[in-house]
Amino acid sequence: MFKGLIRLGIGSALSMTLGHAWAQASLECDSGEPPRAFHVSAQPQAAELKAIPGVALGGAGTLALVNAQQASEDGYRSVSIDVDGLTSDGVDAELIESDFEAGTVSFHACTDEGFLVSPVYFNEAGQVTGAPADVLGAEHEVNYANVTPASNEAIGVEFNDGGADSALAIISAELSETLAGLEIPRRVAELVLTENITNVFDFAESQAPIFGFAEADCEVDGRVVVHGDNDSCTGQLNPAVTAVSRVDGSALSVVSDNGTLVTNPGEVYVATIEQSAGSREVVFSSRTESTFPESYANQPTAPTALSFSAGENTVQGQVANPRNTRDFVTFTVPEGHELTEIRVDSWEAEGDNIGFVHIDEGSTTVIPAEDTSLEFLGGAHISAELFGPSDNLLTALSNAVQGGTGFDTPLGSGDYTFNIQQTGPQESAYSLTFVIEEQADESPTVTYSVTSSGSSAYVINGQSNPLLELVRGETYVFDIDASGHPFWIKDQAITGTSGAYNNGVTNNGTDNGKIEFTVPMDAPDQLVYICQFHGSMLGDFDIVDP
């Protein structure tokens, strides 16, 4: 097995989001479960990559390859993607799409585990200039990554030419005290490639930085340490963690700073992780498995279908893995009804309790982001402080205060998709009530039948040139059957086509058909109707307020 060393280049950036099906997958997994979608973004150009002996020349480079490595019980597995497509070694995967000029790659894979992802940069001579990563976050800025023979063949270089030995020596010294007795390559793989990923990549922020529990029924599920029958769980911390504190209300008390952590159900922790650009904090919690509520789908293309009816419909849940886990639900507003209100009955979270919700038309939606902000109806931040039980969340969503196109309230009959997520670093419990009411009857449209009495007058509902009173905001239909006498709505009593008043008017000037007039709220107090050719065919409109 080839081993390799990759190092963080100054000015380089990489992020990866683990999600559920993002595009329709043709890949079928042996487990019968659907494949997961992985989305990678990296800088297309890197100007200051650092040289790594035996691995990379350093300097400037162009993104040429994305490597995703993973450790499993059967050894290391990988997915490699370049401009020619995807190759894999040990894991079933298929390419969704790639755009190396934009620095984006997406692929499906049959796996429940995360990947360590490294972008590889080439210079104009086709030489490797760098593969930035900073997994352990230690001050030496190196990562002992593993590249399979298939990956090496795709890259065209041998990554184990001295670089791996240097990295192994550094990491051995780093870990020898806290994790004595573990075989080094597997140890690093467990820490950074599988369930307990805690590194600089965005996707890793959803993982609790603890592994290797002494108790068999303790495990990590996202940012939660799940307890079985034990009152406590004892596990090893990722070596990049320099301290862990417990959140007790507004106070912080040190729990462990020596590499071992004992967690208890119901507690929330803050881990401080050191990395080359400084430190950051990861918040995670601990609970018994029985306290997990049933969650809704985390798939914008396949939300959980709810059955709503007229009246109040309450949705309760808990977003357990912030940022990467969202609750997507879809519902139908019945024909003849409308969604008039969304109430925030409760929103509970420790510490940073600001969440985010968005609503969209249809039975599917998108993941809300800057580049999708015009692909859904409206979004808004949410918390108990921002919205009380008497406030209407639907109004904020209609104003698109946090992305969206905006919309008029209430929302009429049809399918809608709603998303709830926590933007802070821990889970949120929520209760929302969706109010569906019978649609109010629209004001009836008034229809006037218009004929002619020779060229002397219009006959409207049996009267010659009557005075008609029109109400601002109401709609009127004039059914014209007066051949040779075009009926015009005007703001002055003149024949011809001049002076036509067209605001809110459809089909003005017809002599055989329907003219529809929705009277604007700013319409003048007086208008007229008149024949295009005969000044005696003239009558007045009085425009009044509702």
Nearest to 22 by CA among 99, 72, 94, 115: 94
Query: Which pair of structure tokens corresponds to residue 427?
Result: 């889970």
Element (H, E) at 172: helix 163-175
Under DSSP, is residue 292 helix (H, G, I), strand (E, B) or coil? coil
Q: Is the pLDDT of residue 121 over 60?
A: yes
The letter for the amino acid at 535 is G
CA 80 – CA 211 distance, rounded (Å): 27
The two beta strands, 224-227 and 278-288, are: parallel
Q: Is the pLDDT of residue 224 over 50?
A: yes
The tokens 């600089």 sit on which residue? 200
Ranges of beta strands (E only) in 371-497 are 378-382, 414-422, 428-438, 446-453, 457-460, 463-464, 468-471, 475-481, 487-490
Nearest to 86 by CA among 63, 62, 66: 66
**Band (536; pLDDT cuts 50, 70, 90):** very high
Specify the pLDDT at position 159.
38
Q: Which domains does the chain have, with CATH numbers?
A: 3-192 (no CATH), 208-291 (2.60.40), 304-438 (2.60.120.290), 446-544 (2.60.40.420)
Q: Is the pLDDT of residue 416 over 90?
A: yes
Q: Is the pLDDT of residue 41 over 70?
A: no
CA 31 – CA 453 distance, rounded (Å): 82
Strand partners for 69: 78, 116
Rounded alpha-carbon distances, angstroms, from residue 22 to 41, 84, 526: 15, 22, 58
Nearest to 376 by CA among 384, 385, 367: 367
Q: Is the pLDDT of residue 257 over 90?
A: no
CA 65 – CA 150 distance, rounded (Å): 13
Tens digits of residue pLDDT in 266-292: 777 777 766 544 566 666 778 787 665
CA 129 – CA 56 distance, rounded (Å): 5
Q: What is the number of other CB atoms lying within 10 angstroms of the CB of residue 52?
A: 24
Q: Is the pLDDT of residue 394 over 90?
A: yes
CA 530 – CA 293 distance, rounded (Å): 70
Nearest to 306 by CA among 282, 326, 285, 332: 332
Q: What is the number of other CB atoms lying within 10 angstroms of the CB of residue 278?
A: 8
CA 311 – CA 305 distance, rounded (Å): 18
> What would the DSSP string read from start to end of 170-225?
HHHHHHTTTTTTS-HHHHHHHHHTSTT--SSSGGGGGS-SEE--SSTT-EEETTEE
The letter for the amino acid at 89 is D
Q: Is the pLDDT of residue 197 over 70?
A: no
Contacts of 30 (CB under 8 A, 6+ apart): 92, 110
CA 505 – CA 331 distance, rounded (Å): 37
Tens digits of residue pLDDT in 466-517: 999 999 989 999 999 999 999 999 999 999 999 999 999 999 999 999 999 9
Averaged pLDDT, 397-407:
92
Rounded alpha-carbon distances, angstroms, from residue 68 to 24, 148, 398, 447: 21, 10, 41, 69
Q: Is the pLDDT of residue 354 over 70?
A: yes
Higher pLDDT, 182 or 301: 301
The two beta strands, 475-481 and 446-453, are: parallel
Give the Cα-Cα-Cα angle 45, 48, 53 (nearest 5 degrees): 115
The letter for the amino acid at 215 is E
Instruction: Beginning with the edge strand found earlier in the chain, give each strand of the sheet holding 93-99 in spatial order.
Output: 14-19, 36-42, 104-109, 93-99
**Band (452; pLDDT cuts 50, 70, 90):** very high
Least confident range from 77-81, 149-153, 172-176, 421-425: namely 149-153
Tens digits of residue pLDDT in 370-388: 888 899 999 999 988 888 8
Q: Is the pLDDT of residue 6 over 50?
A: no
Please check whether residue 71 is in contact with residue 193, taking contact to mean a CB–CB distance below 8 angstroms.
yes
